Structure 1
């Protein structure tokens, strides 16, 4: 018989401004400990040296994680021109160098090739799986392998600063699965000068903003107190990109049992994915068909 997980049954989101030098998993563990939560997970891994918004889902909110993972997100990052590293960031070993330094106009022109639907090869030091194993493990073991390109939607990629000839600061808005390190690597190659990321910050992800996030120090200070609970944001914020419908009384009872239930809507099309609420609380996510929501996820709030 499986042992029950200990902790509080709390649901919602806690937005963290992740510091450099801490893994995303360590942040989740810290939040779970501080809130004494039974269940927690994050919506989108950040590299250990990256900073910025890490949205931690609690309890029933973990069912909405895919909608935040799929949402647009924005990064601010600095690229060191003139050097390539084996990890595509400053943590790695320099493997190629160049004295070439493109001017601002050349950089801005090169960025155009990285906007829209692009094909991107993730870094070899990444968590993508190759024949069942993580790429970073194969790379550390010195294995020879190739990582397949995958599609990425880049909404916007702008040059925001040029601190000196060796560095350029960029801001990118993109969809799911983007690797900023790969953008830096590929931009450097396109410019004929090599490049790698020296600083990376996720400034927003879906509805969550880094400036609204708690620091690890704040979480430690408020740990296991009602004050920290006050920073938990509603589960429903994770459904921000989906249209909302309202349950009827009869529909509520059926949806709670995982069955199609009657809902009220004015602007949702047949077959469209949406979420149903009752008194403002999320009840289920599913597809709208002929006046009913056919649930794929049901929330126990």
Structure 2
């Protein structure tokens, strides 16, 4: 059984919990997620099963989208509503000031990851230091905000927004930093991940739906084929006579009909099926040399 399940992770369940749930209910050991989602957040969490776990490194998962809410006036140690209140502000800001500040966060930004995060420093996760009352200096990290839009009429110091950002962006930190820039503090009160790469919330399955589908023995309905998640790579179709060579790791020489570039990775198809990921090792005139890097059959 190989493929990807686009899971709608519920609030209160860790990404590891979801992996455990899939592993247990599908009775399969090879299961992995494509990137953690905060336990207190809900939303898109693609889970790879079987040979699909070998494809994670090739997937284009950099672009992520969220709907979040920030509450101004309070700063917490976790940068969300579950943390301890550190500071309170009674300052007021106008809707115009909020809009202007939000707009300043579009484009390239630098974030200092929150102390309560899973980033490892000297072999230890930041939240482990934080729970011991220790603060660790962390270098700012470059991130990119592609879109950032306010969704509601601003009231009661709450702002609902959607954001499209690069991988590794902390929405909690975005809320904290915007609040700090406004001089009123801020923390995240809600987070829903709506998209990861090509995986969208409209195509997710809830935990309950997955259970029901397993009971009906209709598991294939849940699975996205491996190559569907790799459409960021150009495809290449080989003659059937090359099948045995490529599945056994031999290099093959073929005509460079689409003018592939040297060292580029491609989705390889043969005998009307997806074989795996190949790499262009050499190009000579109108011919190229292809070798399989990962085989998924």
**Whole-angstrom CA distance in 1 between matches of 2:157 and 2:259:** 51
Counterpart CA distance in 1 for 2:36 and 2:116 is 14
SS at match of 2:153: strand
SS in 2 for 1:75: strand
Alignment of 1:6-155 (within 5 A): 10-68=1-59, 70-155=61-146
1:274 to 255, 266, 271: 266
- Once the 2 structures are TM-superposed, how far is the Cα of residue 31 of structure 1 from its aligned partner? 1.4
How far apart are 1:47 and its partner, in Å? Answer: 0.6
Given the two structures, how large is their TM-score scaled by the length of structure 2?
A: 0.90
Q: CA deviation at 1:255?
A: 2.9
**Structure with larger Rg:** 2
Contact 1:101 1:165 survives alignment (8 Å): no
> What is the number of equivalent residue pairs in this alignment?
291
Conserved in 2, the CA contact under 8 Å of 1:287 and 1:294? yes
Structure-1-length-normalised TM-score: 0.89
Gaps of 5+ in 1: 1-9
Distance 1:143 1:265 in 2: 59
SS in 2 for 1:16: strand
SS at structure 2 position matched to 1:125:
coil
Change (3 A) 1:231 1:136: same
Whether contact under 8 Å (1:251, 1:262) holds in the other structure is no
Q: Which moved more, 1:284-293 or 1:164-173?
A: 284-293
Tell me if the contact between 1:242 and 1:274 (Cα under 8 Å) persists in the aligned partners: yes
Deviation, structure 1 residue 268:
3.2
C-alpha root-mean-square deviation of aligned residues, in Å? 2.0
Gaps of 5+ in 2: none
| Equivalent position of 2:249 in the other structure | 258
